[in-house]
Amino acid sequence: MQGVDPAWLPDEAFRPIGTRRTLIRGSGPLVDTVHGEVAEACGRFGGSVSRDSAAAPEPGPYDLVLELTGTEGGETYTFGRGDGRTTVTASGASGLLYGLFHVVRLGEAAFHGGDRQREQHAPALALRMLDHWDNVAVHPVMGQVERGYAGGSLFWADGRARGELLGRVRAYGRLLAACGINAVAVNNVNVHEAEARLLTDRIGEVARIAGALRPYGIRTHLSVTFAAPMVLGELPTADPLDEAVRAWWAEATARVYEAIPDFGGFVVKADSEGQPGPFAYGRSHADGANMLGAALEPYGGTVHWRAFVYDHRQDWRDRRTDRARAAYDHFVPLDGQFAGNAVLQVKHGPMDFQVREPVSPLIGAMPRTRLAVEMQATQEYTGQQRHVCWLGPLWSEVLRFRPDGVPVADLADAMVAVSNVGDDPFWTGHPLAQANLYTFGRLAWQPDADPGAILDEWIRLAFGPGPSSGLHAVLDGSWRTYEKYTAPLGVGWMVQPGHHYGPSVDGYEYSPWGTYHFADRDGIGVDRSVTTGTGYAGQYSKWWAEVYESPDTCPDELLLFFHHVAYGHVLRSGKTVIQHIYDTHFEGVEEVEAAQRVWAGLADLVGPARHARVAELHEEQLRSAREWRDQINSYFLRKSGVPDAHGRRIY
């Protein structure tokens, strides 16, 4: 598509395949996709491709063989090299597609270096999904995409599906498949009237989007409102135990599958931030999820029920109520009550995608319930794609965390990320924010992968070898840089209310949202200990509960999340809390300045359009980082009365 950045699948990435002789064996729609990719590359670079759906090829003149060996739907593939050729085999067509992209990632290395033992590759998680918070109609407050920082929706424009631009939706499916994502929810979890109708009389629009994504193995999901029988069906109730309500959902779901036979299922936000839910009828969240699960079960569909349920009308004077406790308190008593096709979708932290917060204690606390871990690729609280903030290390830390001896990744049935993509020519607004989308997909496929190696992989695919070291320097560590110049030691939420961009230390301090730091003249932080605080620390397994209970054992990076401490409290670094705040905010700005200089030196190694966009955004990041530094440091100097030990200028 002219004028659209190819992200990590530029033409050049296919040169190693496009210059060689390839045989493709197998049939079916996804095999057709594989053939089309190889044929296009060969047409561009001079190679050749043959198709054989009958007998397995004898050793011959082929450099690459892509072979479908069965009719199963699995995603596993094997890769190896011997007898002078590279071979990918898969028993399912999805596996063959992923095997092709494996060869693309390897590049020339797939065809050199002698024989390679056959190695099997399989995703650790069966479902790897993106949730789009896209609105069909432009919302007066939320806009086209809620928390969207890359332009308008890929799917919707002028109140309807983008029929004339479905080619770009297909290209999007290609990008997602290339990094291992296999499902997309195409509308906002905050479902308004226009989006509600997608379930019924507008399902044909969803079907067209599904048709554009299907050639790359992407299944389509839909966010639905729990109150749909009342909003759309003119029923007087949405009670999940009411037989008329259950029948309405069964009929609506049957019509969805008539239009989209491979439909993935529903995503539901209920009893959260004003969205309707089963609490209105005295029912549990298991009752609500199981009603939808029953409607989906005959078709193999899944309901993703979000655990983001808390009191958003909290009295800031009430220190007994703790938003961090809410998901655990609501859902742990329901363990074992959810249907087999109901997946509880849990944010990776107990609050809301802050730059630093602990892993949610709900993860690992419900062994009899299927679990999806939800990340946020869209950078709502991490610079809104105006700042470089590569989140791979954050996500990797979450996935490797062991709630009770077992990594989070091994406890999950699925990984979900809120999408950071829009109709911007660079897909993600900030060209370097593409790294977050790619990294999420690759970690969802292999959660124990080295995020630094994934970053290098993306850089090589998207930019070629020239700027690799410089780009790595700009991106690697950018999450910790962002943390340094924003909120310290896990305290969070020092952002402008509403849009969440830029500093406002007390912006949420006296609000009903339950997001406080409790800074006073003596200290800062929220006491979440069992002994003297809200008791949140006790929601973890015994070992972690003991670690978090005391300021002496709590990790410094989470100290203020769990404890209210004096400004003179000494960290493991030997610095006091107040000096740490001063130092990190100065360091963060210096690191942004250094990254800006590195990027400026890459002007001859990356395309001019991408370089100009990133350079422009670097200017905004530096302006914002300085604003964060000056506001945070000035606030705490005035609050504490403790001067900076180095005598730097604080206002």
- Say how many CA atoms lie within 13 Å of 228 toward its Cβ: 32
Which position has the token pair 């609000």? 511
Tokens of 456: 């290098």
Contact 331, 366 (CB under 8 A): yes
Tokens 């917060």: give the residue.
357
619 is annotated as an active-site residue: no
Q: How far apart are CA 549 and CA 533, in angstroms?
A: 10
* CA distance linking residue 105 with residue 13, whole number of Å: 8
- 559 close to 525: Cβ distance less than 8 angstroms: yes
Q: Which residue has the tokens 């092709």?
A: 100
User: Is the CB of residue 394 less than 8 Å from the CB of residue 354?
Assistant: no
User: In whole angstroms, what is the distance from residue 402 CA to residue 397 CA?
Assistant: 10
Q: Which of 146, 322, 352, 527 is catalytic?
A: 352
Q: Tokens 């007898």 belong to which residue?
A: 83
Active site residue 380: yes
Cβ–Cβ < 8 Å for 8, 458 = yes
**Residues 30 and 58: beta-carbon distance below 8 Å:** no
Q: Is 610 buried (19+), middle (13-18) or exposed (0-12) by CB count in 10 A?
A: middle
How far is the C-alpha of 199 from the C-alpha of 256, rounded, in Å?
7
For residue 457, give the DSSP letter: H
Contacting residues for 570 by C-beta, under 8 A, at least 6 apart: 576
Give the separation between CA 450 and CA 337, rounded to whole angstroms.
Answer: 36
Contacts of the segment 527-530: beta carbons below 8 A, 24+ positions apart = 527/319, 527/562, 527/563, 527/564, 528/322, 528/324, 528/561, 528/562, 528/563, 529/562, 529/563
Q: Assess contact for 278 and 285: CB atoms under 8 A.
A: yes
DSSP string over 91-102? EEHHHHHHHHHH
The catalytically annotated residue of 273, 315, 410, 616 is 273
**Quick one: which H or E segment has residue 86?**
strand 85-92
Strands 143-145 vs 134-139: parallel, antiparallel or unpaired:
antiparallel
Which alpha helices (H) appear in 464-541, and where do they start and end?
468-475, 478-485
> Could you tell me the two tokens for 249?
């959902």
What does each C-alpha distance from 626 to 116, 496, 619 come to in angstroms? Answer: 51, 16, 11
Q: What type of residue sits at position 500? A: H
CB 23 within 8 A of CB 65: yes
Query: Which residue in the list 67, 146, 380, 527 is annotated as catalytic?
Result: 380
The backbone torsions φ and ψ at residue 266, rounded to the nearest 5 degrees and listed phi first, read -105, 150
Strand pairing class (85-92; 77-82): antiparallel
Active-site positions? Answer: 273, 352, 380
